[in-house]
Amino acid sequence: MSMISSIPYVGRIVDFATSRYGLPLIVAGGIVFFYEGVPIGPLRDIPYAGPALAGLVDGRVDREYARGQLAERLIWQEQQRKALAQQAVKAKAQQDEIDAAAQEYADAQHNDAIRIATLEQAIRDQKDEDLGPPDPKTGPTCRRSGIPARVSIGIDAIGR
């Protein structure tokens, strides 16, 4: 007998491991441990210690699962970035359309203000001409306009 087999409990384990049934069980257990790892359950959720412990005892299946999750997350993030970029391009195009319409409206308002001022001046000039000297043929009572310029301008001043 060897020295290891004389140690209590260790000797029995070594004897079983070297027996006809023990060796295949240990090899099968090693293969399962390699692929599946040690199940640690909720210990994975412990901050800082959980991921470190999982890195030590996870099997190949868990590592591949984590790699797949990372790959999917990266693909999803890339799709999100592309979608946000497309949304930003659409928003910029819409904002450019809105800005162009606003500028067109402001230009039209400016042109209308100029046109209205020109027309009002033409009306004042017309009224001043209408209030000129009376026509010598018809007499002082006949005028071309029915409302004197000062009255029309006064009415304009209080609101149109």
pLDDT tens readout for residues 5-59: 566 777 777 777 788 888 888 888 888 888 888 888 888 888 988 888 888 888 8
Say how many domains are in the chain: 1
Q: Tell whether 3 is covered by a domain.
A: no
Looking at residue 3, its pLDDT comes to 63
54, 62 Cβ separation under 8 angstroms: yes
Q: Tell whether 77 is covered by a domain.
A: yes
Q: Tell whether 41 is covered by a domain.
A: yes
117, 100 Cβ separation under 8 angstroms: no
Q: What is the largest CA-CA distance in the chain?
A: 155
pLDDT tens readout for residues 102-145: 999 999 888 888 878 877 787 777 766 655 566 667 665 555 55
Looking at residue 69, its pLDDT comes to 94
Q: Tell whether 101 is covered by a domain.
A: yes
CA distance 7 to 106: 98
CA distance 75 to 59: 25
Instruction: Give 37's strand partners.
Output: 58
Q: Tell whether 22 is covered by a domain.
A: no
5, 11 Cβ separation under 8 angstroms: yes
**What pLDDT band is residue 61 in, cutting at 50, 70 and 90?**
confident
122, 140 Cβ separation under 8 angstroms: no
Q: Which of 24, 23, 58 is nearest to 41 (CA)?
A: 58
Q: Tell whether 116 is covered by a domain.
A: yes
pLDDT tens readout for residues 74-87: 999 999 999 999 99
User: What residues make up the domain containing 119?
Assistant: 37-136+143-158
Query: pTM of this prediction?
Result: 0.46
Q: Tell whether 25 is covered by a domain.
A: no
15, 5 Cβ separation under 8 angstroms: yes
Looking at residue 129, its pLDDT comes to 64
Q: Tell whether 12 is covered by a domain.
A: no
- Give the single-character DSSP code of 46: S
